[in-house]
């Protein structure tokens, strides 16, 4: 085979992109990737046997993350998104040192917050490990903006218990957030992917001028630039996707692509229906097919999901869809 032909075959191969989180938080990043890209093969690994990560030691998280990413690479991942701020904080250098595929991390979007609303303080909510981490200290140290932080470990537990919108969640968030002068804030940064499930409750509690910022776009932009050749954008989703432009008054404007895509997406039916679940599920971790020609294989720790678990994943994705425009 000539060298040129070999090169073409290599470039034509569909890329497999893996997402990894301690649990269901990283689905918020996957959900956005499913809208943004087309014809992609995704793997999703939730380390359900060991969640939560945010209250463990750094050494433990390094070990667990190496295992998880090792599993994904053994399943053919050409790139891995660590859709977990905590695992990124604890283990990103070890992961990059151990594997030759690109490993994209996820950091709290405090820089975006500072650049957009830096005239007022930023409040970062994240896990205890992320907040205590050196990585965050370095990141915040470079900013001019006043940045406050608040660990919310129970919010991860609420999410894992599928308790998204209960009186207990509201009471917890009200009590924790009351420790800060919320009226002074410019933005609240969600520094843990599990927190995306609570945007509606947070919106209710925060003064209306305070913007809610997640790090999803930044992470996917990074993924697209690292693996650009092999990742195709869905129609109407060329860069910059879901570009949230913050104007000087703190107002928010979404790119015109975003709502058009939402409509189209809903019209096509969101994600795998039960028929697809039943058919797509197999011992090896059946592929679930989504609009835009994307597919996902889900794993809880090393195990393929059963039909009941896959139905729950659909509920999570639906909730995340409802949360995505809340800002
Ligand atoms: N979802 C993870 C994050 O983004 C961590 C949650 C946990 O396991 O504590 O930080």
Mean pLDDT, range 270-282, rounded to an integer = 39
Structure tokens at 184: 């002074």
Distance CA 16, CA 22 (A): 20
CA 125 to ligand 1 centroid distance, Å: 11
| Ligand 1 atom with the shortest distance to the CA of 130 | 10
pLDDT exceeding 90 applies to what percent of the chain? 75
State residue 242's pLDDT score.
Answer: 44
Nearest of 300, 209, 254, 308 to residue 27 by alpha carbon: 300
Which domains does the chain show, CATH number per domain? 110-215 (3.40.50.1860)
Name residue, tokens 């889900």.
298
- At residue 238 the predicted structure's pLDDT band, cuts being 50, 70 and 90, is low
Residue 171 pLDDT more than 70?
Answer: yes
- 160 phi/psi in degrees, rounded to 5: -65, -30
The ligand 1 atom nearest the CA atom of 21:
1
Best of 19, 20, 22 to mutate for ligand 1, by most ligand atoms within 8 A of CB?
A: 22
65 CB near ligand 1 (under 6 Å): no
pLDDT of 260 higher than 80: no
Q: What is the pLDDT at residue 244?
A: 37
Stated as kind and residue range, the H or E segment containing 304 is strand 303-304
Longest distance between any two alpha carbons in the chain, whole Å = 67
Determine which residue's CA is closest to atom 9 belonging to ligand 1: 54
Q: Which helix (H) or strand (E) holds 21?
A: strand 16-21
22 lines ligand 1 (CB under 6 A): yes
Task: Check whether 194 is labelled as a binding-site residue.
Answer: yes
What is the value of pTM for the model shown? 0.85
Token readout for 83 is 């859709």
> Which residues touch 67 (CB under 8 Å, ≥6 apart)?
none
Does the beta carbon of 194 lie inside 6 Å of ligand 1?
yes
Q: How far apart are alpha carbons 220 and 229 in whole angstroms?
A: 14
Peptide bond into 168 cis (omega under 30): no
pLDDT of res. 246: 37
Pair of tokens at residue 269: 């039916």
**214 C-alpha to ligand 1 centroid (Å):** 13
Say how far apart CA 187 and CA 24 lie, in whole Å.
Answer: 24
**Alpha helical stretches, state H, 13-55:** 27-36
Cα separation, 22 vs 53, in Å, equals 6
* CA 157 / ligand 1 centre spacing (Å): 10
Query: From the alpha carbon of 56, which atom of ligand 1 is closest?
Result: 9
Please, are residues 136 and 111 in contact by the beta-carbon 8 Å criterion? no
pLDDT above 60: residue 89: yes
Q: How far apart are CA 170 and CA 114, in angstroms?
A: 27
- Residue 269 clears pLDDT 50, i.e. is over it: no
Q: Is 54 annotated as a binding residue?
A: yes
Averaged over 246-264, what is the pLDDT? 32
Q: Tell me the per-residue pLDDT of 9-58, one tens digit each, with 9 for 90 and over.
A: 444 467 899 999 999 999 999 999 999 999 999 999 999 999 999 999 99
Kind and range of the H or E run holding 224 = helix 216-227
- For residue 236, what pLDDT is reported? 76
The alpha carbon of 47 and the centre of ligand 1 are apart by a number of angstroms equal to: 10
pLDDT attached to residue 186: 97
Could you read off the pLDDT of 92-126 as tens digits, one per residue? 999 999 999 999 999 999 999 999 999 999 999 99
Local confidence band at 149 (pLDDT 50, 70, 90 cut-offs): very high
pLDDT per residue as tens digits for the range 181-234: 999 999 999 999 999 999 999 999 999 999 999 999 999 999 999 987 778 888
Q: What is the dihedral of CA 300, 304, 307, 309, to 10 degrees?
A: 0
């Amino acid at each position: 085979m000539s060298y040129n032909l070999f090169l073409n075959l290599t470039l034509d191969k569909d890329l497999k992109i893996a997402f990894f989180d301690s649990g269901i938080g990283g689905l918020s990043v996957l959900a956005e990737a499913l809208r943004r890209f087309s014809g992609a093969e995704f793997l999703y690994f939730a380390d359900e046997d060991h969640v939560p990560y945010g209250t463990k030691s750094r050494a433990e998280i390094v070990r667990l993350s190496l295992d998880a990413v090792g599993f994904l690479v053994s399943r053919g991942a050409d790139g891995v998104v660590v859709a977990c701020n905590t695992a990124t904080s604890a283990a990103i250098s070890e992961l990059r040192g151990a594997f030759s595929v690109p490993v994209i991390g996820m950091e709290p979007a405090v820089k975006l917050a500072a650049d957009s609303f830096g005239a007022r303080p930023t409040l970062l909510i994240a896990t205890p490990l992320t907040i205590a981490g050196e990585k965050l200290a370095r990141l915040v140290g470079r900013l001019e903006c006043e940045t406050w932080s608040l660990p919310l470990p129970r919010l991860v537990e609420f999410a894992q218990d599928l308790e998204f919108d209960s009186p207990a969640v509201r009471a917890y968030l009200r009590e924790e957030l009351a420790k800060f002068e919320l009226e002074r804030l410019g933005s609240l940064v969600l520094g843990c992917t599990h927190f995306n499930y609570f945007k509606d409750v947070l919106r209710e509690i925060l003064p209306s001028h305070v913007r809610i910022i997640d790090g999803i776009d930044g992470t996917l932009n990074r993924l697209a630039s690292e693996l650009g050749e092999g990742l195709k954008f869905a129609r109407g989703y060329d860069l910059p996707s879901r570009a949230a432009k913050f104007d000087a008054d703190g107002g928010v404007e979404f790119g015109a692509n975003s709502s058009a895509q939402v409509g189209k997406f809903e019209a096509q039916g969101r994600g795998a229906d039960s028929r697809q679940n039943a058919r797509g599920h197999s011992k090896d971790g059946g592929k679930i097919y989504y609009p835009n020609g994307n597919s996902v294989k889900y794993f809880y720790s090393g195990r393929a999901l059963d039909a009941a678990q896959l139905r729950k994943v659909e509920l999570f994705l639906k909730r995340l869809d409802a949360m995505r425009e809340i800002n």
